[in-house]
A and B are shown apart, each in its own frame.
Chain A
Amino acid sequence: MTDSRPVLTMTGISKSFPGVRALHDVNFRLFPGEVHALMGENGAGKSTLIKVLTGVYDTDEGAITLHDEPVSFSGPMQATAAGVSTVFQEVNLCTNLSVAENIFIGREPRLFGAVRWGEVRRRARALLARLDLDLDVSAPLGSYSLAIQQMVAIARAIDIKARVLILDEPTSSLDADEVAQLFRIMRQLRDEGIAILFVTHFLDQVYEIADRITVLRNGGLVGEYLTTELPQLSLVEKMIGKELDVLEGIEEHSRRDLATLEEGTPLVAVSNFGRAGAVEPFSLTIHAGEVVGLAGLLGSGRTEVARLLFGADRSDGGQVAVDGTASSLRTPAQAIDHGVGFCSENRRAEGIVADLSVRENMILAMQAARGWLRPIPRRRQDELVDKYVKALNIRPADPEVPVRNLSGGNQQKVLLARWLITEPRLLILDEPTRGIDIGAKTEIQKLVTQLSDGGMAVLFISAELEEVLRLSHKVAVMRDRQMVAQLANDESLDADRIMQTIASGSHREEADR
């Protein structure tokens, strides 16, 4: 099926941003008539590579050739004109315009400046027929499902005699049927000889559709493999970048026995919690003083679990018991009343209020719980803030500066302080150590251990297995939006087994009774 000559090659690509080496000496090639999956963890450089390819970024070093001719695009428009089209993760179409308008917007066939609408519709119909889609091209795009919109975006992309089609996480918001529909079209285009670069976080999908896989890690190339020659477990290993034997020697610290911890009434017990399109129903119990790790690849539903437990999203059904009594977690305010705190992984958008000062950001959750009529006396505020600025070593130690002036790690600590001030009984930490320097990382890990020793329950979400293993008493594993296993963190549990569970989704022995 694959031609012997690649349609597109990228050699020795390097790209740096101030302080970050996003890509280092990466090679990539794409053959006509293949689906090539680009894999890697969050921050591995996948989107940077695509942006370099389509001319959004200039390269620092390296060369790109298309059909054996060196090219250097100045932007996606030029790339598209040369036959390299991209469909981005978020559908960049106008839902209020018609299907036909969306396909031809910006390049309508014209006659003396006037758009030839008949021609637009006729060509749109022909194009969609090629994709085996039967749509009313005059209907507004918004009246169709997200999957259809995604396919209209593809139709728009391939209209321009595309030879290379880049699909950046096209399936992240689609359900199983819609994915099947998309794959049918991808196969059809592949059989027509179009080279497809496919980015996704779903392992199953890669093995279903991709012919070849390129793995990136930390901006570097790990390797290029034929899908048939790369077992799922090896793929996960290559993405995470830990050789199994290296991980095996993790230090065992004095960890309390899970059985002792799980005696008595659980602090929070949920059963059949789930939300359509976000995460399949799951059951989970968390006891006081217990650290529950949530492992899984990005997009596997880790954050969704956290948001349901905090009431940030509502569960479609299921029951909650707090201290053994049936209750509900339907809004964040309700969850906070039950003593739950939640540090979002999206610090900027969902965590800090950039305009407000460090002090105000810290006391925000406590003040919200008291209501605006009972302000926290200024002296008490200063005491609390001072205590946590010192305890968490927040820099600069001036609580009156706007929080936006702090570095990412310090902003993270401010958020931690916001919740610690409320003295929560269950603290949900979603990627608390991502994107912060190693010093702050260790401090936060240490803090989690201290808190759990003090009786606080922690739900710890992290992409780094090492971290999850070191801190947790119990590890729940997420895979493709399902909680596939809950494993007791005893001697028998290591990164190997977690990775196997992530890769295969097998229901191993359940730690949860």
Chain B
Amino acid sequence: MGTGMRAIVVGVTFGMLLTLVGCKPAAPSGPAADARPKVALIMKSLANDFFATMAEGAQQHQATHAADYELLVSGIKNETDIGEQVNLVEQAVAQGARAIIVAPADSKALVPALRRAQSQGVLIVNIDNRLDADVVRQAGLQAAFVGPDNRDGARRVGEALAAQLKAGDEVAIIEGVTTTFNGQQRRAGFEDAMKAAGASIVAIQSGEWEMDKANSVAANLLSSHPKLRALLCANDNMALGAAAAVAAAGKSKGVMVVGFDNIAAIKSLLADGRLVASADQHADRLAVEGIELALASLKSGQPGADRATPVDVVTR
């Protein structure tokens, strides 16, 4: 009875696994299928709309170029799960990916894993969050960077906000995961703009890119700095959390919020003024440009050059 029950449970679990994974048969083994290079897109948290949009862009591109390459898409649970992202890199290599397009969750800690992949002949393209230049040089990694100038983008978002501030106004910055280069750049860009406008930055705290965390950070900032005029958030997820905290504190009139990424979820907030500005880095194009660079490099055998992608400030 006991073993029978165990066998049933195990059987049911496997059955469920099969169903959930979609009963995908082993990859078709025609010569055409084998000729297409596998390209792995490894992103950060897919709970973040920004990366979901990025994934969609890549999938659409693959659908229209189905003959050119096979796409493997993956992401991690939360933005600090670096071990898992290293694991995804290793799995992509084990699956025989010819190129890895990566949006690293940490600008330094991903470098060794990427270098190991490169030493096995995999082409690396770095998108979105730039790997640390010193570490890349030390490790001897070759990776073209495709992405925006985050500092400049954040500075321009800050300027859009500064137009509604006066000198001496108190503002606070909610930064991203402090170990990421793009997070550091956006914080620096916000600081540039606020200094230029003569605003006083009374606090800089991390919301770790996540809505929840930013919400509690913002709530605390609002109560500890009653004269606060604006919250500058390094991504829109955190801006959503901050805007909710502002509303909960009954300060929608007095405190302005800006974000970064222009995710779909902020449209209505921009429209009614709960969010003053954000920056569109064209997430859908970001991955596609990375993939195109990788495909061109695979064809030519030459590592591609860095490509700057546009950042547009969006307001209402």
Task: Please say whether chains A and B are actual partners in one complex.
Answer: no
Binding site for B on A (CB under 8 A): none
Binding site for A on B (CB under 8 A): none
